[in-house]
DNA sequence: ATATTATGATAGTAATACTATTATTTTTGC
DNA sequence: GCAAAAATAATAGTATTACTATCATAATAT
């Protein structure tokens, strides 16, 4: 009996509820990032789905709408009716990713009242490896996570950042940094750099994953030590406290 | 009398010796990064000098050898005789920058025996704002620093990283991370993540400078709080000790 | 003074990053 | 079931990029 109950609980916590929730969610992405909402048609979803695969395969630099057109058996010009250019498409995909991450974060932390436990959970969510693709949607989150690791910086390291920031293209990401910053401040209201610590964790996580893959000599993260462990440890050392203590 | 002595000491520490040393230094940059050594001719130096200005002005994406040719009144094809392509040129400039930083780091820390003081100094050097251009060379370090902040990530976030890493294009940067990591380990040999902490500081510094400029709402660094202060504080909190104590 | 080397000028190619126009499907509303 | 509307595909065209190749000329070294 208890075995069955535990198994049920496992199912609920690990999969069902969360997954169903995620499937019914429509990401709230800045409308200026697309010409026509890719969620509104089959072709649009195909563009996003196969776009993710192609960017993952050949990298953002080599990725072109022409190649994507060939891959999906569609015309280049049709893709231009959904996205102005590949930069906007990257911003769109990034917003999708951070929106998805935000849902996971909010879902996993909202019911936690203890501020340390909450922060601990938040960092685990933000720095966790996206392992399985449980989605029934057209978005492969595992690959999208890898794209974000390798390409996200390129979306803001441009001469147009300030304008694009004003247009609200980075809103979701900024809100995530802010949420994390608030959780840090809740644990230690006297810590003077909650924003910098939060933005550093967000960006540093992607970087540590990248190093683990391409510069293993520059990180202590590996098969046994996850970026999440490193950052949880870092945060609680910095705030001179322990996750639970 | 004491005033004069103090003034002399100020001059030596702040400027003369260091500057002269730097001017006579030839950066030890991987030879595969250029076709012909730009240090070996007037045109080569001009390409580097004006290249830095142009990349700073229009950003790496918009930067082309044709535009640089026009700027220096030289032919596009002549630039190709120095660098294979703009990506290699970026790697070259980055190597120059990290080589220069390494000199500053080694010079400023080698005589410090106290490990905490040494680490403190190292972080200050790595995270310091490059304010003045004291150089008599063709390289404008202030602008190069800004280029590194905005463009360095693009030099390794590519599909070719692993090959280029094998070719040794990132050697100097890696050595810097290693040096910092060693200094961290010297202060706290039991700290389990010295490499991750070091690589995070190196990368995080650039990121905090970028945020300060373009996303001030995501950082506590500003006119009064420098990234150096934030990172020194972070490191010594993490290692559960103080810079001098 | 001449051979060598460096630089400049010109031309050319394939690919990129689009825009515009027209044709053909597909969808939908009645 | 049909016409109108909307979506997609096909084609063509432009300016720019990222080169390569060749040849001419200028600078320098012996």
- pLDDT in single tens digits along all 245 residues of chain B: 444 444 444 445 555 566 666 666 678 899 999 999 999 999 999 999 999 999 999 999 999 999 999 999 999 999 999 999 999 999 999 999 999 999 999 999 999 999 999 999 999 999 999 887 676 689 999 999 999 999 999 999 999 999 999 999 999 999 999 999 999 999 999 999 999 999 999 999 999 999 999 999 999 999 999 999 999 999 999 998 777 75
Provide the chain B residues 41-70 that lie in CB contact (below 8 A) with chain A: 58-59, 61-62
Tokens 């990248």, located at residue: A210
Q: Cβ contact (<8 Å) for B154 and A151?
A: no
Whether A133 contacts A141, CB under 8 Å = yes
* Separation in Å: D25 C1' and B77 CA: 15
The Cα B106–Cα B120 span in angstroms is 13
Contact A151 B165 (CB under 8 A): no
Alpha carbons B56 and B90: distance in angstroms, whole number: 12
CB contact under 8 A, B197 and A234: yes
pTM equals 0.91
CA B43 – C1' D16 distance (Å)?
26
- CB proximity B204 to A under 8 Å: yes
Of A105, A64, A118, whose CA–CA distance to A244 is shortest?
A: A118
Nearest CA in chain A to B161: A214
Contact across the interface for A153 and B156, Cβ inside 8 Å: no
Do A159 and B61 count as a contact with CB atoms less than 8 A apart? yes
Residues of B in contact with A217 (CB under 8 A): 174, 178, 195
Question: Of all nucleotides in the shown strands, which has a C1' nearest the CA of B74?
Answer: C8
| Cβ B208 vs Cβ A200: under 8 Å | yes
Question: Taking every pair of C-alpha atoms in chain A, what is the biggest distance, in angstroms?
Answer: 62
Mutate to test the interface with B, among A213, A219, A225 (most CBs of B within 10 A): A219
* Dist. CA A68–CA A63, nearest whole Å: 8
Test the A interface: residue of B155, B164, B196 with most A CBs within 10 Å: B196
Instruction: Please name the residue that has the structure tokens 């902040």.
Output: B149
> Residues 6 or more apart from B11 whose CB is under 8 A from it?
none
Residue B154 Cβ under 7 A from any strand D atom:
no
Of B62, B165, B218, the CB nearest to A214: B165
CA B175, B178, B183, B184 torsion-angle sign: positive
Closest CA to A238 of A180, A183, A208, A193: A193
Q: Where are the alpha helices (DSSP H) in chain B?
A: 2-14, 16-23, 42-62, 65-72, 76-80, 86-109, 115-127, 141-156, 161-166, 171-187, 194-214, 227-238
Count of CB atoms situated within 10 Å of the CB of B123: 28
Cα of B162 vs its chain's centroid, Å: 22
Asked if B150 has any chain A CB less than 8 Å from its own CB, the reply is yes
Contact B55, B67 (CB under 8 A): no
For residue B204, report the phi and psi dihedrals to the nearest 5 degrees.
Answer: -65, -35
Contacts of B218 in chain A (CB under 8 A): 174, 177, 195, 198-199
Residue owning tokens 């192609």: A54
Q: What is the pLDDT along chain A (245 residues), one digit of tens a residue?
A: 444 444 444 444 555 556 665 666 677 899 999 999 999 999 999 999 999 999 999 999 999 999 999 999 999 999 999 999 999 999 999 999 999 999 999 999 999 999 999 999 999 999 999 887 676 689 999 999 999 999 999 999 999 999 999 999 999 999 999 999 999 999 999 999 999 999 999 999 999 999 999 999 999 999 999 999 999 999 999 998 777 65
Q: Of B165, B182, B193, which to mutate for an interface test with A (greatest number of A Cβ within 10 Å)?
A: B193
Residues 86-145 of B with CB under 8 A from A: none
Instruction: Please state, in angstroms and rounded to a whole number, the distance separating the CA atoms of residues A219 and A173.
Output: 25
Rounded to whole angstroms, the Cα distance separating A195 from B161 reads 31
> Which bases of strand D have any atom within 7 Å of the beta carbon of a protein residue?
7-12, 16-22
State the CB neighbour count (10 A cutoff) for residue A74. Answer: 16
């Amino acid at each position: 009996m208890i075995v069955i109950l535990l198994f049920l609980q496992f199912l609920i916590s690990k999969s069902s509820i969360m997954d169903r929730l995620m499937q019914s969610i429509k990401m709230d992405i800045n409308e200026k990032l697309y010409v026509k909402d890719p969620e509104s048609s089959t072709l649009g979803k195909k563009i996003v789905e196969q776009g993710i695969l192609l960017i993952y395969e050949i990298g953002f630099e080599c990725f072109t709408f022409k190649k994507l057109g060939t891959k999906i058996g569609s015309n280049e010009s049709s893709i231009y009716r959904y996205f102005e250019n590949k930069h906007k498409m990257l911003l769109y995909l990034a917003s999708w990713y951070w929106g998805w991450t935000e849902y996971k974060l909010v879902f996993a932390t909202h019911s936690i009242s203890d501020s340390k436990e909450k922060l601990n959970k938040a960092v685990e969510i933000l720095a966790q490896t996206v392992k399985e693709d449980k989605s029934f949607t057209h978005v492969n989150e595992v690959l999208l996570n890898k794209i974000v690791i390798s390409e996200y910086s390129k979306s803001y390291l441009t001469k147009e950042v300030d304008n694009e920031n004003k247009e609200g293209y980075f809103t979701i990401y900024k809100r995530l940094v802010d949420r994390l910053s608030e959780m840090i401040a809740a644990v230690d209201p006297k810590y003077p750099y909650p924003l910098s610590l939060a933005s550093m964790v967000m960006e540093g996580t992607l970087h540590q994953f990248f190093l683990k893959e391409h510069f293993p000599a520059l990180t202590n993260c590996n098969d046994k030590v996850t970026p999440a462990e490193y950052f949880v440890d870092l945060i609680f050392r910095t705030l001179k406290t322990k996750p639970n203590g």
